[in-house]
Structure 1
Amino acid sequence: MTERVFVFVDEEELFSVMKDADCLYCRNPVTASKHHLRKRHLRFAIYYKDSAIGKFSIPCYCSDGGHGRSHWHCPMCAKILQRTKDFKIHITNHGVEMTDKSTVELQPTMVLSENQQTDNEDKTPGNKSACQKCGIFFTTTSNLRRHERLQHGQDQQPMLCVDAKNAIYVTPKDLHGPRVPIHIRKSFTLQILLCELEECWDFMKALAQSGNPGKECRHLVRTNHAQHYVPPPPLSISSLEEMSHKHLLSASEKHACQEMNSRACLEGVDCVYPIFWGKHDLSERCVYFSVYTDLKDKWCQFGRTRVSFDTKSGSWKCLCEHKRIPCIHKRLSMWWLFQEHPKLLQNPLDVHAERVDVLEEVVMDKMSPDGDDLC
């Protein structure tokens, strides 16, 4: 019986191992044709350099993994690992260097094109999204992002600078679900490393006490690929006047908005910074805003708070949670949205409410009891 090998230098070496015999890497008997090897194994191969030699390993579906699930056999120590991420970490500990397929100078697999020609030569990708690393097509962007994260280790989340003067950034709190943004501060010039999450504070404090004071939480690390500060369109007094004319703001609220915007301008920062995750291939349902507060409290540690607007339900939320008085931060965000994207407010504005807080109550009454609000 042919001995199984779990590391290869090129594809021809893999093809020559079985030569159309039964596949050694599958639990059920199946002919190890080139089409099968490419579709079942090569498309998920992991590439690396060992002693400056380009190599790759393929996933296995034998009974060793249990129930025929995909798993990985370490070619150095024969250990079996179930997850791709764990396998990458494991072989890296053996001293290999992870690489992209293109840098290993292996022969192209042409996985996608050959599969399509075999299955249906007339079929075209259409609106499918292609992985830039291996060329596999996906019907949805979310599936593509999941593939890039699991197969190619790409786990970058957007990081936007909302205040260049004070080195304040926003980034999604979590990797899954609604990408609710949080504020962080990072500046080597100002010697600041701060994240507004208490759990991150505890994490960095514990590491500092153990002798590793420079360790950053997962959110601060993302500043390594942060986008440069791009100023948003400034708030216009004419649009505020229009809102007041349409009875969307009371006279006192109009004055409060104008005064808060003036304070932000005097400090040299943006009063409202919009956050559209849709530009980063994430959900477009919720629009977020980083809003200047002129305060420092538990809910606005860096002088800014988060306001969210659910474009589906029309509901607004703010971290300040002012229940009894109108929230100035929501009003400022509405001002910006009314000025730049009035269509997003079209449905709520069709309700002839004399006040924005009344408008919010009408919208909240329309929300489903199951909690349709995701922001």
Structure 2
Amino acid sequence: MHHSIVLSGTQIAANRCTSCCKLYHCPLCPGFKPAKLNRIQSHLKVHISNAISFEDKKICKCSLNCRTAAHFHCPVCHKTVLKRSDMEGHLNGCRGKVVQTPSPATESTSDPNVPPSTPAPLDLSTEQASFSIQQSPNTSPPPTFPKTEVSVSPVVSPQHQHTNPISSVDTASQVDNSLLLQKKKTKCPHCNLLLYKKNISKHIQRKHAKKCKDVTIEDHLKSICVDSINGISAVQKSRHGFSVPVHVQNKTWGHLHKVQCELEECRQYHSLAARSGLSFSHCEHIRSLQYCTETVKEEKLQENVLEEMVQLQFFGEAKKATCLKRQKTARAKHVPLCVPVAFQETPKQLCFSVYEPALTHYTRLGRIMVTYSTSDNTWHCPCAKARLSCIHKNISKWHLFQTNRDLFKTQTDNSSTPQQQQDTVYPPQNESLRQFVQYIYHHKKLPAILPDDLLKPKAATDFMSELHPAEKICTVCSGSIHLEKSSRITGKAKIVTMNGVIGNVSTFFRRCPQCHMVYRYQEWKDGLHNFDDHLLLSLELFVSTTQPAEQCLHVEGGQFTGKP
């Protein structure tokens, strides 16, 4: 019998260590720190209190090297079981084996004069309950017999035939239970773990499911080429949310081929794949480049713009000279100095890929990513702290000041008039507001009679989530003056219909670069009425709320009388 099984009323023996120390070790927990006798005795009492009671024994949990995890030893069949609940069920099955199996001494005894050995005690209530199952209603109750004759006699006399139904019922129930458990359980095809069939799908999903998705034409990371000479592209770092793009090189022409990603975890992955003989295995950033079809155009930065920034005190003459020197170096290498990287139409974070000739841990491919937050008006570069300037931030400011000067708010900029400064803000004001309202009144006014198809109920999926103005050419200026790119007013607008409210709708406006005329979404042909850019009404709801008011008012002589 294993030493984790003790008789009830006794304690586990604790012996003093004679090899490594003079203290006492726990005989069941190898990881328990050696301690004095009183500490070990209190620890062993915990083992006894948490043990499983089986007949006259206590089965303690064993943490020795019998198995890799803590387990229980069965005193009957010497099997090991991990969980306590499974061990209790196992003991219920083994309990019948103790009662039914005759002892070797009894089997070897052939002389009837030799008294049989005393068997293990049998629960009378269980015996009576088992016997009552086999009783027939038409027969008289059988006589009672001593327990010794029921359990141990190998040769059954005719008067003792009522003991066979008891053992046959117990054996049949055990066989049925084992077959039922086999039907309910199955093995995992990956780790051969025995589980219930209802839990196998959840086990495979949690333990063996792929953590990363395959790169396909429908699901891949967005990318754009920023340096076509060296085959360097900017790729999204992750699929969800905003993340600073990473530089990836995929140059498969010329004498020297280079395929690499600047992320440290991807480089470790490629190194492990090469040592394993899987040099063709690449990270998802490199695999997404096969769907890259766009190359960003470089904006040639002008020196006069840089001089204007010096006059506006963005930076001094020394930083100006450094920027010009870096520009000459980029031209000599035939690489773009600074290019924008935009994967969204109206991003809150503007990213710029800037050329850096010195190779460091943050510029492994000769380029560095600089980000600008339009909401916080902050710059970030990996080579400098948040509030410290660097050459990469200065070059990015130079590029942004030349391409989108409206993002810079300076007090010394007197080149534009107050009227022009007001025109950059939505909603328009003063004269621009008057033109804006007149255009909506003359060109976007709801007709007196609406088509019937616009008043029919629509599903929520029939409405667009992004509402852009239909105008693309200015209607005020002479000639074909194209409007600027759409700018978002809000991304939390709501469409109210007869069936409910549709949220998270984006509304946009466009502006004429010449006359500063502003256009917003006001298309009643889509079945919507734009109330204030934040609330839009379906025409079905709009007509149902305005018709009762029109029916209650009567016009006489050009005035409302209020009479029906």
Structure 2 unpaired stretches of 5+: 1-197, 414-564
Q: Report the TM-score, using the length of structure 2 for normalisation.
A: 0.34
Equivalent runs, 1:109-120 vs 2, <5 Å: none
Equivalents in 2 of 1:351, 1:224: separation in Å? 48
Aligned to 1:333: 396
Q: Greater RCO between the two (CA within 8 Å, min separation 6)?
A: 1
Q: Residue 168 of structure 1: which of 221, 232, 247 is its match?
A: 232
Q: 1:153 to 1:245 in 2, by over 3 A?
A: closer
Structure 1 residue identity aligned to 2:397: M
Equivalents in 1 of 2:287, 2:274: separation in Å? 16
Q: 1:248 to 1:153 in 2, by over 3 A?
A: closer
Equivalents in 2 of 1:307, 1:322: separation in Å? 12
SS at match of 1:185: strand
Aligned to 2:291: 225
Q: Residue 302 of structure 2: which of 231, 236, 261 is its match?
A: 236
Equivalents in 1 of 2:226, 2:242: separation in Å? 20
Q: 1:184 to 1:326 in 2, by over 3 A?
A: same
Structure 2 residue identity aligned to 1:252: A
Larger of the two Rg values belongs to structure: 2
Structure 2 residue identity aligned to 1:182: V
Aligned to 1:257: 323
SS at match of 1:266: helix
Aligned to 1:132: none
User: Cα offset for 1:294?
Assistant: 1.5
Conserved 8 A contact 2:322-2:391: yes
Aligned to 2:311: 245
| 2:248 is aligned with 1:184 | yes
Structure 1 residue identity aligned to 2:390: C
User: Cα offset for 1:286?
Assistant: 0.2
User: Cα offset for 1:156?
Assistant: 2.2
Q: 1:272 to 1:161 in 2, by over 3 A?
A: same
| 2:276 is aligned with 1:210 | yes
Equivalents in 2 of 1:293, 1:244: separation in Å? 23
Equivalents in 1 of 2:237, 2:406: separation in Å? 28
Equivalents in 2 of 1:153, 1:264: separation in Å? 34
Structure 2 residue identity aligned to 1:170: A
Aligned to 1:268: 334
Structure 2 residue identity aligned to 1:229: T
Q: 1:232 to 1:153 in 2, by over 3 A?
A: closer
Conserved 8 A contact 1:185-1:195: yes
Equivalents in 2 of 1:225, 1:327: separation in Å? 34
Aligned to 1:306: 369
Conserved 8 A contact 1:261-1:271: yes
Percentage of identical aligned residues: 28
Conserved 8 A contact 1:157-1:222: yes
User: Cα offset for 1:166?
Assistant: 1.0
Equivalents in 1 of 2:279, 2:270: separation in Å? 7
Structure 1 residue identity aligned to 2:228: A
Equivalents in 1 of 2:231, 2:316: separation in Å? 34
User: Cα offset for 1:344?
Assistant: 2.1
User: Cα offset for 1:81?
Assistant: 5.7
Structure 1 unpaired stretches of 5+: 1-77, 91-148, 353-375
Conserved 8 A contact 1:264-1:292: yes
User: Cα offset for 1:231?
Assistant: 2.1
Equivalent runs, 1:360-371 vs 2, <5 Å: none
Equivalents in 2 of 1:226, 1:210: separation in Å? 29
Conserved 8 A contact 1:184-1:195: yes
Aligned to 2:405: 342
Structure 1 residue identity aligned to 2:377: G
SS at match of 2:340: strand
| Per-residue Cα deviation, 1:63-102 (whole angstroms, up to 9, x for no partner) | xxxxxxxxxxxxxxx99967xx99xx99xxxxxxxxxxxx
Equivalents in 2 of 1:229, 1:191: separation in Å? 20
User: Cα offset for 1:323?
Assistant: 7.6
| Per-residue Cα deviation, 1:301-325 (whole angstroms, up to 9, x for no partner) | 1111110000110000001126896
Q: 1:339 to 1:324 in 2, by over 3 A?
A: closer
Structure 1 residue identity aligned to 2:323: C
Q: 1:216 to 1:236 in 2, by over 3 A?
A: same
Q: Residue 383 of structure 2: which of 320, 331, 336 is its match?
A: 320
User: Cα offset for 1:227?
Assistant: 2.4
Structure 2 residue identity aligned to 1:262: K
